[in-house]
Amino acid sequence: MKNKILLLPGDGVGPEITTEAVKILDYIIGKSIVDVSYTEGDIGGVAIDNHNNPFPDETLQKARDSSSILLGAVGTIKHSNNPNNMKPESGLLALRKNLDLYINLRPIFILPSLISCSSLKPEVIKDIDIIIVRELVSDIYFGEPRGFDNDSRSAFNTMRYSEDEVERIASYAFDLSETRKSIITSVDKANVLETSQLWRKCVDKIGKKFPDVKIDHMYIDNAAMQLINNPSQFDVILTGNLFGDILSDEASMLTGSIGMLPSASLSKSQGVYEPIHGSAPDIAGKNIVNPIAMILSLGMMFRYSFKRDDISDSIDNAVNTVLSNGYLTKDLSDSNDFTSTSQMGDLILEEFKKNV
Ligand code: IPM
Ligand code: MG
């Protein structure tokens, strides 16, 4: 278990970006730099095709046997009208729930060489270094009851949080904040929602144990605006599952391309690492997707699951160097002479070999 990695390439661009990350992983294993091994499994649309189930038992078993999982993306056009439990996305949600991956970390950073890719002015974004801490296994995503009413002309979902669920994610965020700037922005909708009133109360309770950390409570609508208006005011953003989903897509755009950003989803003992972008079926199979979010996700795996910050730093540095040398994938480039997915993977591997 300790050194086992499960690869779940998934759908759309997932397999292509997985191939590029595995180039680095194979090098690490081949040179015995870290003692890890990997196996593969199905999730999402590909699992529906192969096993008639977006999260087959076999995948759950493999996931339980692994210390960490590298996941590409899930989502297909052909299964998008399936009932909820047969949609590719439900495979991802089942993975999160079954492994109790309650901590979702989404770092939002901007590399100096990419400042011009953002739609915002350079002076607005140049100093951003934000980490979104999103609760991942509760909220309206999982709350019961849910469903369509009998006549299917109305439908309902339940937004629900318990004190324990809020306190454990808040504790993680406060611990993290102490290693950073000691400012937490907790995002909710406490002017309207009871779940958010509970959220605020629990965040304040945990906050009492961290007198040096400053807590700012912010409503989600205001936070969405502030992220565009003045993003450098943020350091750790702590929020629930639904608001975190929305804010992280928004925040990713500060950086110019969602194709750059990795994420980690952690339980007490395991981690799933995946790009924050989706399966992008429109560009799949064309060798044009940006593999960097996936490669940086592999980097996060070495940092969080294997406590090898040195490997993680080497991966980050390799990515930085390749981009600063002017190699840009289609999403980042304004010319027709862009770097393909596989070239980008090769270039990053070559840099990695030099500095690992
Ligand atoms: C994400 C995705 C997922 C989510 C989908 C694919 C279920 O948007 O990881 O942000 O909503 O959590
Ligand atoms: Mg999302």
pLDDT digits (tens, 9 = 90+) for 78-132: 999 999 999 999 999 999 999 999 999 999 998 888 888 888 999 999 889 999 9
CATH number assigned to the domain covering 1-109+261-356: 3.40.718.10
Distance 247 CA to ligand 2 centre (A): 9
Return the SS3 of 132. strand
Place of tokens 């961290």: 210
Q: What is the DSSP string of 18-45?
A: HHHHHHHHHHHHHTTSS--EEEE---TH
Is residue 1 pLDDT above 70, yes or no? no
146: left (phi over 0), alpha (psi -120 to 50) or beta: beta
Q: Do 323 and 111 contact (CB within 8 A), yes or no?
A: yes
Would you name the residues annotated as active-site residues?
141, 189, 221, 245, 249
Q: Which atom of ligand 1 is nearest to the CA of 96?
A: 12
Q: Do 293 and 260 contact (CB within 8 A), yes or no?
A: yes
Identify the CA nearest to 273 among candidates 101, 37, 15. 101
Return the SS3 of 89. helix
- Beta pairing partners, 109: 129
Question: pTM of the predicted model, to two decimals?
Answer: 0.96
Which residue's CA is the closest to the ligand 1 atom numbered 9?
Answer: 276
User: What residue type is assigned to position 338 of the chain?
Assistant: F
Q: What is the DSSP string of 176-224?
A: HHHTTTSEEEEEE-TTT-HHHHHHHHHHHHHHTT-TTSEEEEEEHHHHH
Q: What is the mean pLDDT of residues 143-166?
A: 96
Q: What is the mean pLDDT of residues 151-156?
A: 94
Tokens representing 309 are 């910050």
DSSP 8-state code for residue 339: P
Domain boundaries, the chain: 1-109+261-356, 119-255
Please give the mean pLDDT across all residues of the chain. 96
Quote the percentage of the chain above a pLDDT of 70: 100
Q: What is the mean pLDDT of residues 232-255?
A: 95
Q: Which atom of ligand 1 is nearest to the CA of 274?
A: 9
Return the SS3 of 266. strand
Distance 135 CA to ligand 2 centre (A): 13
Buried b (16+ CB within 10 A) or exposed e, 193-221: eebbebbbebbeebbeebeebebebbbbe
Residues with CB under 6 A from ligand 1: 89, 92-93, 245
Q: Do 247 and 220 contact (CB within 8 A), yes or no?
A: yes
Is residue 2 pLDDT above 80, yes or no? no
Is residue 188 pLDDT above 90, yes or no? yes
Return the SS3 of 5. strand
Please state which CATH class domain 119-255 belongs to.
Answer: alpha beta
Q: Which atom of ligand 1 is nearest to the CA of 249?
A: 10
Identify which of 245, 263, 279, 294 to mutate to test ligand 1's pocket (most ligand atoms within 8 A of the CB).
245
Residue that wins the pLDDT comparison between 302 and 2: 302
15 vs 40: CA distance, rounded Å? 11
Is residue 235 pLDDT above 90, yes or no? yes
Rounded CA Rg of the chain: 20
Distance 245 CA to ligand 1 centre (A): 6
Return the SS3 of 152. coil
Maximal CA-CA distance, the chain: 63
Q: What is the mean pLDDT of residues 133-160?
A: 96
**Closest ligand relative to 250 C-alpha:** 2
56 vs 60: CA distance, rounded Å? 7
Distance 170 CA to ligand 1 centre (A): 21
State phi, psi for 36 to the nearest 5 degrees: -130, 160
